[in-house]
Each structure stands twice: as C-alpha cells, then as structure tokens.
Structure 1
Amino acid sequence: MRPSLPGGFPAIDVAVLLLYLAIVLWVGFQAGKRPKTVEQFALGGHRMPWWAVLGSLIAAETSAAFFLGTPAEGYALGNYEYLQLSLGTVLARVVVAYLFVKPYFAYRVTSIYQFLDLRFGPKTKSAASAIFLLTRLLASGARLYVAAILPVLGVKLLRGGPVSAGEELSIYAASALLLTLFTTLYTVAGGIRAVIWTDLLQAGLMLSGGILTLSLLFQKIPWGSSSPFREAARLLSALPWAETGIDPQKNLWENLGSIFSSDYTIWAALIGSTFTTMATHGADQDLVQRLLTAKNHHRSRLSLILSGLTDVPLVFLFLTIGIFLGLLARSAHDTRFPTQANEVYPYFILCGTPPGIRGLLIAAIFATAMGSLSAALNAMATSFCEDWAFRFLPAGSGDRAKLRLLRSATVLFALLCVSIACATASFVLHSPQSRILPIVLGLFGYTYGPLLGVFLLGVLTRNRGSDFGNCVAMAAGLGTVALLSGTPQGILGLVSQADADRLAWLPCVSFPWRVFVGSCSTFLVGLCFRAPAPAHPVVEEAESSL
C-alpha cells in the first residue's frame, strides 16, 4: 500500500504553481499583442529571433512525454541504450536544415502542405494535411494524458491508497481539461508569438527542474564510503550504452530480424531515429511552423541544428534521473515506489522533494505539457484552415474573418485533444505495463513515414511523383508499416489466437523503424509516377532560387 502524501500540499507549493501559471499567462498575452493578420498569427510576421526559435524547439521536443517518459525508460531498463537514438536526431536535423528549410522559405508557404500543392497538386496536399492532423491530434492527446499522471498520483497519495478505475479516469479528464483550457487562452489570443515566448520560459523551467531533481537524487542515494562522484561515475560507466543487436551465432536473416525488432540498437539510432526526426522536423507543421517564424532560412537552420546539439545532453540528464531513481529504490529497499515505471518520477516529486522545490517541479511538468500543447494547437489550426477551411469562406473574406476561423479551430482541436487524452488514459488503465515513449513515438511511426516519403519526392526529384500517384504511394507506405508492425496479428488475436499464430512468419519491426519503412515504401512507389512540368509561377520562381 502506498503512503499518504506527507502534510498534503503545503501553501508554498500552491503559491509557486499559481505564480508560474500567472507569469505564463502574462507573457503569452504580452508577447502576442493581438495579431492582426493570418501571417502574424501563424508565422509571427517572420520576425522571431533565432535564439527564441531555438528555445521554442527545445520546449516542443521536451514535452511531458519526454519529461516523465525518459526517466521511466531509464528506470525500467536501467541503462543508457535509449540515448543512442539521440545520435540520429542530430544527424537528421542537419539533413532537414539543408534539404527542407530553404524550399519552404522559397515557396513562401504558411502551411508546409501548401508546398505539396504547388509541387504536385491538391490531392497530395489534402492527403498529407489529413495525415498530419490525425497523427498530431493523437500524439498531442497522448502527451496531454502524460501531464495528467501527476494529479492522479497526487490524489492517490492524499487518500493513502488506490482509487477506482472510474474515479481515476475522471481525474485524468478533469486535469486534461483544465490544463488545455489554460493553454488555449494565450494560444488563441497571441498566436505563434505567444507560443514561442512562453515556450522559451517553459524550456528554462524544464531544464532547471531536471538539474534540481538530479542534485536531490545524488544527495539521497547512499554511495558508500568512497567519494560520491567517483562512485557514481564508476557505476554509470559500467552500464550498457550501446547495443548492436547482432549475435555471431545467428545467420544474416536472423540478425536482421533481431535488429529490426529491437527498440534500441545503434542501427535504430543511425537509421531509424534519423528518419523519425526527419519526419517530425521536416514534414510536421508543428515544428516546421516555428522554423518559418525566423527572419530567413539561414537563421532557421541555425536554430534547428543547435536544437539537435542540445538534445543529447537533455536525454542524458533525464535518463540519469531514471537510473538514479532505480538506485534509490534498490539501495533503500523501498517497496513504496509505484509498480508502474510511468509513475516513479511523479512519485518522487510528490514524496521525495521538499516543499517549494516540489511546487517548482510540478510547474516544470505543466510547463512541458503546455509548451508542446500550445504549439500543436496553433499548428493544427493553421494547417486545418490553410489547407481546408479557408476555401469555404466567401470570396473576398479579409483577415478578420480568417483570424476568427483560426481561433475557433484552435478551440476545436483543444477539445479533441482532451478526448484523446481520456481515451489514452482508459487504454493505460487496461494495459498498466505500457510505457510512455513507445506509446507516443509508436503513434508517429504509422503515419509519418508516408508523410516523409512524399516530401522527399518533392525536394529530391523534379519530375517524379504525381498528384494521384502520391496518394497511392502514401497508401502503400501506410499498408507496409501496418503489415510489418504486428497489426494483422493483433487484429486476428482478438478473434482467435490460432489464426494470429499462422502469421508468426511475418517480420515485425519495432517503433523506431516504422517511419523508415513507411517513408522508403512511399518514396519507391512514388518514383513509379511522373509529374507534369510545373506551371505555377511560384513553383518556377522557387525552383530557380534553389
């Protein structure tokens, strides 16, 4: 049975949290300055400094799923193998910076899926935009669920025991709704400028919270008679840092199967993670929209590459927190730690930190959730309106009507995110051993491969792919990922396990490889179609500048 939360929530924790929320709201309203045009709402007038864009990228990447999920990986696995994937994220950012960023500026797009419209046609744009909206909605809802873990665990600790599944789901729903409501206020009011400046504040709080947690854990762990720093260095250096997934006793095909079915290997880092990051940073409106707020593509590239260089130390920091939490639980023989890895770090924040610091760390979790959610809401509203809704406005509609529609779409997607968060919470309640990062990254894997594949067709070729052919190619990529990720076995298993076992011969790829498989399949099928010569003046002008 878990202990109750000692002393409840002291007033100082509540004061710290309320102060943080008040500052974020003030910064959001002050920075936004009520945008007057669609370009100001969506792109900040292309006037954001590169260092603010950098901070916003860091905040977007370090969502609540990262803040709580990365320590969960370190705690559950007890090693640094997940850190390998950071290598691919750095490499991918360099590729995206020099392959995608300049064309987006040259084509003068607000939604990056307008690039596909100009390059191929409306069918490709609509299909890609729909894939983005669906995937980002699912992923943002799952991230919102992660932020609600802390309030749920807090209620359990205050009661001194478990709560019913219905009550737990209600707490998840109420927490997600309140957090979304607060975030939507400044996102609707200030647009992308409010998002970026509040992201900068939230990135600083997140980093401070991680460093503070690590220092507290370092003091609590009994290191023995030798120097704590020497003992910690010796212990951490002995942990596995890399895994090849290759067994000399197996043949080539068996080793390939092992590599593609393993989550964390050096091959998944250099290939799988590279393609995943290329999709999230080159074909996802959420992150690319931040890049388009910079003054030009040179400063945008600088922000993107520097964000990759900060990714490795951030992942190392939060993995170390998870590993130290495992050391603390074992060294103290503490059986009070939650059985679910997802709840271990929130448990330590609530029960293992002093008042004041506890409030700061709770605020850091909310900061990571709000940073990723605000940008996602702005990006989904922008893509939905630019790619779909604006075409239905009366002819001659001005910026006032378009801004009203943009703000309404932001509220709509906020409500949908809350619904997805509740559905994710229900799934985890029925599958308590599910870990955060595979859930969130797994969602990307199914759809972002086809999305990346069609963008690669657009930037790497001049006359391959076609408006109709790209839709066929994306469908083929999605089908390939579904086939090779265990989906047929899972569906048949619901009916008959014997039928599912008949498909055991099918290879099954793990989540870091899904984007790679989907993008390669889409790209190869798309090459079979030929695009007509560009006739749009923007296309001709942009291609002449590339």
Structure 2
Amino acid sequence: MPQTLDWIDWAVLIATLATIVGYGTWKTRGSKNVQEYVRGGNSTKWWTIGLSVMATQASAITFLSTTGQAFSDGMGFVQFYFGLPIAMVIICMVFIPLYHRLKVYTAYEFLENRFDLKTRTLTAILFLIQRGLAAGITIFAPAIILSVVLGWNIITLNIIIGVLVIIYTVSGGTKAVTVTQKQQMFVIFAGMIAALVIIIGLIPDEVSFTDAIDIAGATGKMEVLDFSFDLENRYTVWTGLIGGTFLMLSYFGTDQSQVQRYLSGKSMKEMQMGLLFNGLLKVPMQFFILLVGVMVFVFYQFNPAPLNFIDASTQTVLASEYGNEYKILQTKQAELFDIKQRLSLAYAKNKSDDLRAELATIDSLEKTYRSESKFLIKNAIDPEYREAYNKLQTEVDELKSNSESATYKEKSNALKTLYNDAAKDTQTNDRDYMFIRFILNHLPKGLIGLLLAVILSAAMSSTASEINALATITSIDLYGRNLKEDKGDMHMVNVTKWFTLGWGVIAIIIACFANLAENLIQLVNIIGSIFYGNVLGIFLLAFFFKYIRGNAVFIGALITQVCIIGLYFLDNADLINLPYLWLNLIGCVIVIVIAHIIQATTPKTAKS
C-alpha cells in the first residue's frame, strides 16, 4: 500500500529538490558561447571536479541497488571498484595531458585527428547507444521509489523526474550540472551517515555494533575479499583489479559524461587532482554504502522482514485466488524468524557473557592478551552460530522455492510463481526495493524526507550528466562536425540546448519501457561492459600504436562489437560462463588484435 509521508518529510524533500533545481538554473543562466556551455568556462576547482565525478557515477541506483546487493550477497561487491584507483592514475598520466593539450570539447575529437571521421563517428555512436540506455535506467530507478511512496503510476513519475532534470540542464549546460552536483553530494553524504547511525540505534540494545558486525561476518556478509579464479563468482579481487580497471579506464577516460566533468577544470593540475580525489574517496564511499545494506540485514535478524519487499505486489497476491497459499508461506516464515531471532540474540549474549567472564580473570594482563583472548572465544563460537544460521536460512530458501499445494509442488520457485500467476505484471524481484521499504517503515520522520532527497538528488545528478554529455556529443561530434559552414557560437549553444531537451525526452521514453533486472546496478554495469572495452581499445590504439590507421580500427571495432554482444548473449543463455566484467578486457584485446591483423594484411597502397 502507498506510504503516507508526514508533512515534515514533504517539506524536507521539496525544499531540497527545489533548492537544487532553482540554484542550478539561476547560477548558470545565460551562457554566451560553446566553451562556456559545454566546458563550463574552464573555471572549476579540483574539489568540485572530484565531487562532480563522484556524483555522476553515484546515481539513485547506487543507493537502491548497492544496499540491496549487500543485503543479499554481502560486502563482496566492493571488489568491483578495486581497479578504480589504478585507472585514475593512468588517466591522469595519459588521457588528461592529451585532452588538455588538444583543447578538445569531447573525447572523440581526438580520434578524428588520429584516425579519421568515420572512426570518430562510430565511437560517438557507440557512446550514444550505451549512455542513452543508462540515462533511461537512472530515471527509472527513482520512479520506483516514488511509486512505492505515493502509489503513483511509474510512467507519470518518469516524466516528472525527467522534466525536473531537463529544466536546469538545458538552462545552464555543463556548469549547471557541476554546480548542482556539489550540493547534491553534500546531501548524499549527510543522509547516508544519518541512516547508518539510525540503523545501528534500531538494533536491540543488548547487541552492540561489534556484535552486529560479528553476526554479519558469521552469516557470510562481511566476506570482502575473494582471491579465487572461479568464473562462477562475478566479484573477486581479480575481476575487480583486471576487469574493473579496464571498465573504469573506459568509463572515466572515454565516456563523455565523465570526461566533460574534468574538462571544465581551470587547469590540467586541477583536472588531475579532481580525479585523484575521486580515486581516493570512491572505494571507501562504496564500502560505506554496502555497510549500510549489511546493517539493514542485521536489523532484520531482530525484526520481521516481509517475504517480498514490494508491498503493492504482496497486496495483489493476497487479494487473488492464491491469497491463502501466500498466507501459509507468511506463517511459516514468521515461525522461522522467531527461531533466527532467538539464535542471533543468544549468539550476541553468549559472546558477551563468555568474554566478560574471560576478561575478568585476566584483567591484570596486557591489553594485547585480552585482544587475543577475545579473538579465540569469537572463533570458538562463530562456527556454531554460522552452522545453525545456515540451516535456518536453508529452510527459508526452501520455503520460498517449494509449496505444499499440488498446484505448485513441481515448480522450482513457489513464491515467484504465486506472484506471476496472481498478476502477470506483478514484480517479483524485490532486491532494489529493500532499502526504500526499510526507510519508509522504520526511520523517523524528517529523516525519511532527507533520504528520499538523497536518492532523488543522486538520480538527478547522474541523469543530468548523462543527457548533458549525450547532447554535447550529438552537437559537436555529429551535427557540428558535418556543418558546411560556421554558424557561430550562439547557434551551437542553442542547438546543444535542443539536443539536451531531445535526449531528455528519449531518456524518459526508455525509462517508461524499463523493467527490473536481477539488480539495477548490475544492469547499468552490464550495459557499459558490452561497449566500454571496445571503445577503450580504440583509444589505446590511438595512444600507443602509431602505425595503425583508421580503416583497420573502424573495421576492427565493428567486428569486436558484434563479438562482445554475441559473448554476452551466450553467457546469458548459460552456454558459456563469463562474468560481465571480463567483457571489458576481452573487448579491448579483441579490437587491438583485429586492428593489427587488418593493418598487417592490408596492401601498403591501400593503407589509410
């Protein structure tokens, strides 16, 4: 059922969003030339660049899906970002000096100077496809939130959110995006810190923060590092360091939505410091957001969790002919929750009692010995708790995947079947709804409005960057490059504003057709991984292989894109096992190899 917000939550939410939109529109009105509209007048300081880069990547999906990812699978997703600091250093050393020297408006201008127009155009089109899809998803994510809060139609909400972003992005261009993102990041940091403090306060008094971490650790949620080479695991140290580095190199080095953020810097040094600031802060920020999700998981060890976090879907099933079937599952889940709650409380109390007794006997000994004693007791208790917890969790999983009813006994997932049979358009994937449902049900008044503002601010900042970049590429790399005569700066500014409006509308349309995948943050990264490796390979060929010419790169890029899309669909059909992060490395390698082969086998007279 729709949630009724208190007046103070509405006040906080509306005031925050109105301030951001109004300030961005007023502060950056009246751009007089392309340099000011597209590159923000090259007046941005390094800390603003760093925050803007972070805000561009931190969409609403980050806060909905990353917390949901941690709730379901634990902290391992942070390994995805291990390649980011490496990528930041490489971009500062190679990409930024080149872009700055050439004074380019877009990353793809360089490719025409190095290769030819068709290679520049192809790369720009690949960017437009993947970033256009991503822009639609970043609008769709917050629309989910407000559909839960207000009970409004998602399509209506997609339109409202998209229009809000379009207003200040069309008005002020790159500078408007950068200026508003600084305020948005402050709102985001304040909201997430407040959320973690409140969540810890909601955990029972007898369970300390250390106990909460131990419970999360004993249930496998704090397993951060995985050094295995098992391709069954999407997130390992190696996929993060290798696949993640290639993804981040392409995203931050060649994706115009990010390149445009640091090209607005006052100097090359400001650009480099801004990216290094992002590299230092981004991994701890993602770790913190994942920790919030893990703490919500611990909270639900002591408070009842629904079978499905999508309340509207649950109400649909309960009102259908399958309502009694669903109530049986709810009753069984409640029984299992009571056992899990007693187990977790006993675990926390047992640890505390044993530690107090043990430490009392050695109070006069050195602190280091007390720490060792605590470590030994913890490791004696943890395996017993983990074994008991895992048995209960297995029962919960079996409860959701089996049904006593003859109608469902033979089906592999009874819970999903109930939802799908009750209403064909009912959502069954509730991972991305977990955090918003927790916010609405358990956080105090005022903070609910702040956290809704956090998520919507993140959505607006990311979407604004994307449509700003899409418009820039369309106007500079496609429209402007093919103009037969120079029409002047104001013409190009106005054209870019119209393209901004157009891409905003396209993003809204994509959002209206979007649907929940396994996890929204994974969906965005999958879309990027399908295209980024190929684009990065094109840039690496331009940087380091001077004898490779445009025809070889153009043909190699076309072949590579077909290969990568084919590999993704083979993996999706379970015909091969290939975590999507590896597509970045594979795409990069394939285009480099094919370009070399084509160049080597092309007659010298035909080489161009």
Please say which of residues 147-156 and 364-373 is displaced more in the overlay: 147-156
1:99 is matched with which residue? 94
Match of 1:403 in 2: 493
Residue 224 of structure 1: how far off its partner (Å): 2.9
AA aligned to 1:299 is E
1:489 deviates by 6.8
Q: Aligned to 1:416, what secondary structure does the other structure show?
A: helix
How far is 1:460 from its partner? 1.7
* 1:20 and 2:16 matched: yes
1:336 deviation in Å? 6.4
Structure 1 residue 57 corresponds to structure 2 residue 40: no
Confirm or deny that 1:390 pairs with 2:372: no
2:552 equivalent to 1:469: yes
Q: Which residue of 2 aligns with 1:511?
A: 580
What CA distance in whole angstroms lies between the structure 2 residues aligned with 1:139 and 1:4?
28
In structure 2, what is the Cα distance between the partners aligned to 1:262 and 1:455? 29
Distance 1:371 1:18 in 2: 16
Q: Are positions 1:234 and 2:223 aligned together?
A: no
Say if 2:280 is the partner of 1:280: no
Match of 2:360 in 1: none
String of CA shifts for 1:29-82, please: whole Å, max 9, x gaps: 2331311001100001211111111110111111111121110110111x2111
Structure 2 residue aligned with 1:252? none
| TM-superposed deviation, 1:114 | 0.5
Q: RMSD of aligned C-alpha atoms?
A: 2.0
Q: Percent same amino acid at aligned positions?
A: 26
The Cα of 1:235 is off from its aligned counterpart by 3.6
**TM-score scaled by length of structure 1:** 0.84
CA positional deviation for 1:399: 1.2
Match of 2:286 in 1: 315
- Aligned 8 A contact 2:170 2:500 in 1: yes
Flag the 1:309–1:73 CA change in 2: closer, same or farther, 3 A.
same
Among 103, 106, 110, the residue aligned to 1:111: 106
- Within a 5 Å distance, the mapping from 1:27-426 to structure 2 comes to 27-77=23-73, 79-156=74-151, 171-222=153-204, 224=206, 228-236=208-216, 238=218, 239-246=222-229, 258-259=230-231, 261-335=232-306, 338=309, 340-391=430-481, 393=483, 395-425=485-515
* Structure 1 CA distance for aligned equivalents of residues 121 and 295 of structure 2: 47
Equivalent pair of 1:43/1:110 in contact (CA under 8 Å): yes
Deviates more, 1:388-397 or 1:346-355: 388-397
Give the secondary-structure state (helix, strand or coil) at the position aligned to 1:21. Answer: helix
Write the deviation string for residues 58-109 of structure 1: whole angstroms up to 9, x where unpaired.
Answer: 11111111121110110111x2111112211111111111121111111111
Cα deviation, residue 25, structure 1 = 2.1
Cα shift at 1:223? 5.8
Kept after mapping to 2: 8 A contact 1:135/1:444: yes
Say if 2:137 and 2:524, in contact at 8 Å, map to a contact too: yes
Distance 1:56 1:458, change over 3 A: same
Q: Is the 8 A contact 1:72 1:322 kept in 2?
A: yes
2:84 and 2:244 in contact (8 A); partners too: yes
Q: How far 1:488 moved relative to its partner?
A: 8.1
CA contact under 8 A between 2:166 and 2:504: conserved in structure 1? yes
* 438, 445, 448: which one aligns with 2:529: 445
Moved more, 98-107 or 18-27: 18-27
- Letter of the aligned partner of 1:484 in structure 2? L
Q: What number of residue pairs does the alignment pair up?
A: 479
1:460 aligns to what?
544
Question: Is the CA contact 1:63–1:143 (under 8 Å) kept in the aligned structure 2?
Answer: yes
Name stretches of at least 5 consecutive residues in structure 2 with no aligned partner: 311-429, 603-608
Cα separation, partners in 2 of 1:223 and 1:313, compared to 1, 3 Å: farther
Are residues 351 and 154 of structure 1, via their aligned partners in 2, closer, same or farther at CA, if it must alter by over 3 Å? same
Q: Which runs of 5+ in 1 are unaligned?
A: 157-167, 247-257, 491-500, 533-546
Are 1:485 and 1:508, in contact at CA under 8 Å, matched by a contact in 2?
A: no
Answering whether residue 79 of structure 2 is matched by residue 10 of structure 1, we say no
Contact 2:80 2:235 survives alignment (8 Å): yes
Indicate if the aligned counterparts of 2:234 and 2:579 stay in contact, CA closer than 8 A.
Answer: yes
Paired with 1:325 and 1:396, the residues of 2 have a C-alpha distance of: 57
- 2:597 matches 1:525: no
2:8 partner amino acid:
I
Q: Which moved more, 1:116-125 or 1:10-19?
A: 10-19
Measured after TM superposition, the shift of residue 282 of structure 1 is: 0.5
Tell me if the contact between 2:28 and 2:171 (Cα under 8 Å) persists in the aligned partners.
yes
**8 Å contact kept, 2:47–2:277:** no
The verdict on how the C-alpha distance between 1:474 and 1:262 changes in structure 2, with shifts beyond 3 A counting, is farther
Distance in 1, Cα, partners of 2:560 & 2:70? 32
Aligned equivalents of 2:578, 2:83: Cα separation in 1: 18
The structure whose Rg is larger is 2
Counterparts of 2:543 and 2:484, CA distance in 1: 34
Q: Render the CA deviation track for 1:267-294: whole Å, top value 9, x for unaligned.
A: 1011011111011000101100111111
CA distance in 2, matches of 1:474, 1:411: 30
1:396 CA displacement: 3.3
Taking the aligned partners of 1:93 and 1:272, their CA distance within structure 2 comes to 15
- Equivalent-residue separation in structure 2 for 1:201 and 1:488 (angstroms): 41
Shift of 1:314: 0.9
Q: Which moved more, 1:394-403 or 1:66-75?
A: 394-403
The whole-number CA distance in structure 1 between the counterparts of 2:9 and 2:69 is 27
TM score, norm. by length of structure 2: 0.76
| In 2: Cα distance, 1:195 partner to 1:73 partner | 28
Secondary structure in 2 matching 1:486: helix
Q: Distance in 2 between matches of 1:80 and 1:396?
A: 53
Cα distance in 1 for partners of 2:102, 2:485 equals 24
- What is the CA–CA distance in structure 2 between the aligned matches of 1:186 and 1:335, rounded to whole Å? 39
Q: Which moved more, 1:365-374 or 1:143-152?
A: 143-152
> How far, CA to CA, are the matches of 1:308 and 1:288 in structure 2?
15
Asked whether the 8 Å contact 2:2–2:149 carries over to 1, the reply is no
Is this contact kept in 2: 1:485–1:510, CA < 8 A?
no
Deviation (angstroms), 1:405 = 0.6
Q: Identify if the C-alpha distance between structure 1 residues 473 and 184 changes in structure 2 by more than 3 Å, giving closer, same or farther.
A: same
Distance 2:305 2:489 in 1: 60
1:483 equivalent to 2:566? Answer: yes
Distance in 1 of aligned mates of 2:171 and 2:80: 37
**Letter in structure 2 aligned against 1:56:** S
Q: Partners of 1:176 and 1:133 in 2: how far apart? A: 20
Distance (whole Å) between structure 1 residues aligned to residue 241 and residue 571 of structure 2:
28
* Aligned 8 A contact 1:486 1:508 in 2: no
Task: Give the structure 1 partner of residue 406 of structure 2.
Answer: none
Structure 1 residues 223 and 525, CA, compared in 2 at 3 Å: closer, same or farther?
farther
Contact 1:28 1:195 in 2 (8 A): yes
Contact 2:38 2:173 (8 Å CA) reproduced: yes
